[in-house]
Structure 1
Amino acid sequence: LTGVLYFPRIKTNFDIQKNKIQLYCNQVYVTDSVEGIVPEFLTLLHGVIDSPDIPLNVSRSYLQSDSNVKKISSHITKKVADRLQEIFKNDREQFEKKWDDLKLFITFGMITDEKFYERADKFALLKNVDGKYFTFEEYEKLIKENQTDKNKTLIYLYTTNKVDQHSYIEEAKSRGYDVLMMDGQLDPHLINALESKLKDSRFARVDSDVIEKIIVKEDRKEVALSTNEQNDLRAVFEGAVKSEDHYWISFEDLGENASPVVITHSEFMRRMKDMAAMSPTAGMYGNLPDSHNMVVNVSHPLVKSVIASKSESLGSKLDELDKNIKPLKEKADELHKSRKDKKDEEIPQADKDALAETEKQLDKFEDERRSLLKGFGSDQKLVKQLIDLALLANNMLKGEDLSRFVKRSLELIKPE
């Protein structure tokens, strides 16, 4: 078996071409349709292979089932892996310089060919945001001490865009964490493969949550706000968000020096959407809206200012509504208890009517209370500014919203 194979330099998806390997038998051309003859990931390579064991004048299906051709396929895979290992071992500096061009091919091989993965495990590289390269073993040693959480799980942090996710990267680096650059076309699939191979390890994009919750080192501080206080503050922030935008708003004690509001993306949902985007059919995940979370830092002075302003502006009105809500809740609870273990036909109609009327009045007062809080949030420039700053840090503030933010910023900083 003789031949020359090389990795073409690919700049875009449109550059990817298969069937650029020509098969010869004793210098007689056989075919360039090599799918099923050589491993799938090697069909992206270009070159020429000549072997006396490749039969002439037979169908492609015969070639695919021929035992000699299958041996050739395994041999080619081994030779490619051995050659890459040799280059890595003898001239690592040159290998690293070429890695960005080789990565797509090697990654494709690792996620589609188990034997190639076992061989590539020794020379495949991970690149961090500082442009440094590491083998899998080297990188595990680098981060093991600092990025192992309290449950003994090693967390691999990564980014897919250094510009869009810059603030999250800097937050991670400020804790002494290292961040990988995983912006390749096949990296979502590679991440899944690595998670299944690497023991007690998990990958998380830097913007998938606040860093304290991605790598949990100790039990988190309890939020000082009660459930009712959190619900009130949630309504205030919901009032400042556009009606067509949907965020799951949660509260954390991140410390007064951390950002007041952070926008995060669910790791699971985003990863499913990323992989669905590569599928011709997309599937159900491809049609789902983006999943965003809004984390409000209750210990930040500006958030405390919002809470104080809410109490000052709405305190008496909320207290008045609560006076109406409390007895209605108590009455509804009692009516529900009286129905316990009873069939519907055993409940007197008067009790059913009483519960329906009580819940109707309760809904009315609670809706009025919620509307009051959302209206307050809608009118508060500070709340909108905090949300827009979080969106801006996530590169999600654009167009008209960005113009409004700039105008509001000028109004807030202009001299008295």
Structure 2
Amino acid sequence: MQKGNIGVTTENIFPIIKKFLYSDHEIFLRELVSNAVDATQKLNTLSSVGEFKGELGNLTVRVTLGQDTITISDRGIGLTGEEIDKYINQIAFSGANDFLEKYKNDANAIIGHFGLGFYSSFMVSKKVEIITKSYKEGAQAVKWSCDGSPEFTLEEVEKEDRGTDIVLYIDDDCKEFLEEARIAALLKKYCSFLPVSVAFGKKKEWKDGAQVETSEDNIINQTAPLWTRKPSELSDEDYKKFYHDLYPMSDEPLFWIHLNVDYPFNLTGILYFPKVKSNVELNKNKIQLYCNQVYVTDSVEGIVPDFLTLLHGVIDSPDIPLNVSRSYLQSDSNVKKISTYITKKVSDRLQSIYKNNRSQFEEKWNDLKIFINYGMLTQEDFYEKVSKFALFTDTDSKHYTYEEYQTLIKENQTDKDGNLIYLYANNKDEQFSYIEAAVNKGYNVLLMDGQLDVAMISMLEQKLEKSRFTRVDGDVVDHLIAKEDKKANALEADKQEMLSVAFKSQLPKVEKVEFNVMAQALGENSAPVLITQSEYMRRMKEMANIQAGMSFYGEMPDMFNLVLNADHKLVKQVLADEEKACAADVVPLKLSIDDATKRRDELKKKQEGKKDEEVSTAEKDELNELVEKLDELKMKKDSLFIAYAAQNKVIRQLIDLALLQNNMLKGEALNNFVKRSIELI
């Protein structure tokens, strides 16, 4: 029996392994089962080239739970005593402190770097034994044992069969790994597609109301998963079944892409386009990354472009090391090539569906557009590829490519400055009357109700020449597309003022909402009152919801225009009644305002060009008194209009109808509207 110290230059390698080396304790099982599979595949290779002439027999790798042990057994090439000494006992570190300092932030990188897969066993074990016998003729079986200190023992033992058993004596603080369900879950996560059969216990069946073990091995993996097979051998049903094996609760995928390339890097896999309802984030990180059928991670940022992290499926590449680190992924040239290749494959697949079956492409557009829009927004080369077949959808559910749509609207939706105006709605029901008004005028209205459409609009205004997007409720229909310079106001200033003060006074108080009231000539057949919202301010607020650094727009109040149609008989009637009711009090006030304004303007003109000290105190005082007097007179005049408005039910009814049409009438205000409607009827 040989005793010795593991070849490290420090006493505390094991605490380092336990605490720092592996960021996730559960990967010990992946490492040890992968090693067993490697040993088995090596024997297969030796047999195929004639270097091993014995019977291969059953090569299943077995994971067995004892009372306080986990054993991983294989019938692979095994190890000699010399090989144990070389591969297990000689861990050459320059010193624990240097090691810790260098790798403390990137523990995962070390495993691959130092080939330390076996040592992950000490994260969960107080003692580890290796009982092994080499495939070589006449080899002596040996047992290596270590209790988590640098001391080990190595002795000759009897072992009938070639291969290796690794026995882990599980630590008291890791007893969870002795639970059958926990190990079954880890094997499913990491080992589902290993290329050699892995058995965990026996299959169970129901007998007399209880589950009993059968004599059949419980094989936990598919050794030849779908992505390792040729597409020509597979049916649509095979692809769908595999998708449901990976994501049991998901809807059927839209379609898939089978990846298979062996130059300039090795890559296989299947990527699925899932149905995405709304939340982008919830559907990220569903692509599983494998290295030679060994599960690595489902955090694939850096390997696939950001927008394709929305896809589901599997990527397998031996060119990405098993123990992969973030920094490695960001700097590795193979990874960059893989990313470019996947982007190209996706855009080619989308284009082929568009070209070969446009109606199918249009049917799936609502589900596809989140991927395509996300890609166009985040990757310039993807925009260039797909902008030829990306689609707009109008409010009649018709689809157009960007080029087709420009042709459709060019004649009727070009403004006086030569800009192409794209009108859009983001809610067909809420904006129905605005859409109808635009369509009646011969305009086409796009439906842009996707969660990325706000960002798409901003990008397309930069990409598409002389183009501007305007929401259909951004202005009254006659002003949405300015064909000529705006005419002067429909009403004289004092009449504008009478109406705006009266209507503004009756607007309900809505939190974080401000209204600007104005009168415009909209034609006697248009609605008496309309609510519009500035395209710029609304878009800034919408962008604030999805873009960091714009939150100050989100805090600003919503700004709406309440537009009174000066041509409508109801508004005309309100104005005539208001003039009549307020005339006796307003006329003398107006004379006083005119006199005070005239004197104020004279004083201001007199003081023009003078320094402050050159103006007499008397003149300064008189000017201040006039300003105060004008404020007071205006308040008196406004109070007359407000008093009139308070008892005019038509004003409040017209306001509430406009608010109701925009889904802005709620609570007490809605209740009052219903009562008033009944009274008026």
For the aligned pair, the TM-score class normalised by the smaller chain equals over 0.9
Alignment of 1:351-362 (within 5 A): 351-362=619-630
Write the distance in 2 (CA, Å) between the matches of 1:150 and 1:240. 37
Write the distance in 2 (CA, Å) between the matches of 1:99 and 1:326. 64
Which shifted more, 334-343 or 153-162? Answer: 334-343
Partner of 2:264: none
Contact 2:271 2:311 in 1 (8 A): yes
Greater per-residue strand proportion: 2
Partner of 1:306: 574
Partner of 1:135: 401
Q: SS of 2:364's equivalent?
A: helix
Which shifted more, 251-260 or 50-59? Answer: 50-59
From 354, 357, 366, give the equivalent of 1:100. Answer: 366
Change (3 A) 1:261 1:141: same
Write the distance in 2 (CA, Å) between the matches of 1:313 and 1:170. 37
Partner of 1:385: 653
Task: State the AA in 2 paired with 1:42.
Answer: L
Which shifted more, 183-192 or 386-395? Answer: 386-395
Contact 2:287 2:315 in 1 (8 A): yes
From 632, 639, 651, give the equivalent of 1:371. Answer: 639
2:328 maps to 1:67:
no
Write the distance in 1 (CA, Å) between the matches of 2:280 and 2:337. 32
Which shifted more, 105-114 or 240-249? Answer: 240-249
Which shifted more, 156-165 or 5-14? Answer: 5-14
Contact 2:495 2:575 in 1 (8 A): no
Contact 1:221 1:253 in 2 (8 A): no
Q: SS of 1:262's equivalent?
A: strand
Contact 2:593 2:630 in 1 (8 A): yes
2:514 maps to 1:246:
yes
2:530 maps to 1:266:
no
2:273 maps to 1:7:
yes
2:584 maps to 1:316:
yes
Q: SS of 1:351's equivalent?
A: helix
Contact 2:457 2:469 in 1 (8 A): yes
Write the distance in 1 (CA, Å) between the matches of 2:607 and 2:327. 71
Q: SS of 1:131's equivalent?
A: coil
Contact 1:4 1:49 in 2 (8 A): yes
Partner of 2:460: 194
Task: State the AA in 2 paired with 1:346.
Answer: E
Task: State the AA in 1 paired with 2:303.
Answer: I
CA RMSD, aligned part only?
1.7
TM-score normalised by length of structure 1: 0.95
Contact 1:159 1:169 in 2 (8 A): yes
Q: How far off is 1:105 after superposition?
A: 1.0
Partner of 1:24: 290
Write the distance in 2 (CA, Å) between the matches of 1:255 and 1:303. 12
Query: Deviation string for 1:182-208 (max 9, x for gaps)?
Result: 111111001111111111111111111
Q: How far off is 1:223 after superposition?
A: 2.9
Partner of 2:598: 330
Q: How far off is 1:220 after superposition?
A: 3.9
Partner of 1:113: 379
Partner of 2:442: 176
Partner of 1:400: 668
Which shifted more, 279-288 or 108-117? Answer: 279-288
Unaligned runs of 5+ in 1: none
Write the distance in 1 (CA, Å) between the matches of 2:490 and 2:345. 62
Change (3 A) 1:344 1:24: same
Which shifted more, 347-356 or 18-27? Answer: 18-27
Query: Deviation string for 1:152-182 (max 9, x for gaps)?
Result: 1111111111111111111111111111111
Q: How far off is 1:377 after superposition?
A: 1.7
Task: State the AA in 1 paired with 2:579.
Answer: S
2:299 maps to 1:33:
yes
Write the distance in 2 (CA, Å) between the matches of 1:350 and 1:315. 35
2:377 maps to 1:89:
no
Change (3 A) 1:15 1:345: closer
Task: State the AA in 2 paired with 1:322.
Answer: K
Q: How far off is 1:299 after superposition?
A: 1.1
Q: How far off is 1:14 after superposition?
A: 7.6
Task: State the AA in 2 paired with 1:274.
Answer: E
Change (3 A) 1:61 1:243: closer
Alignment of 1:208-227 (within 5 A): 208-227=474-493
- Give the count of matched residue pairs: 413
Contact 2:475 2:532 in 1 (8 A): yes
Task: State the AA in 1 paired with 2:523.
Answer: G
From 551, 555, 558, give the equivalent of 1:283. Answer: 551
Q: How far off is 1:51 after superposition?
A: 3.0
Contact 1:23 1:29 in 2 (8 A): yes
Change (3 A) 1:224 1:213: closer
Query: Deviation string for 1:331-389 (max 9, x for gaps)?
Result: 11111122111121221111112222222222221210111112212221111111111
Q: How far off is 1:243 after superposition?
A: 5.1
Partner of 1:125: 391
Query: Deviation string for 1:60-86 (max 9, x for gaps)?
Result: 311221111101111110110000000
Query: Matched residues, percent identical?
Result: 57
Task: State the AA in 2 paired with 1:260.
Answer: P
Partner of 1:232: 498
Q: SS of 1:84's equivalent?
A: helix
Task: State the AA in 1 paired with 2:586.
Answer: L
Quick one: higher RCO (CA 8 Å, sep 6+), 1 or 2? 1
2:294 maps to 1:294:
no
TM-score normalised by length of structure 2: 0.59
Q: SS of 1:24's equivalent?
A: strand
Write the distance in 2 (CA, Å) between the matches of 1:314 and 1:202. 45
Write the distance in 2 (CA, Å) between the matches of 1:254 and 1:66. 63
Contact 1:210 1:262 in 2 (8 A): yes
Write the distance in 2 (CA, Å) between the matches of 1:268 and 1:224. 25
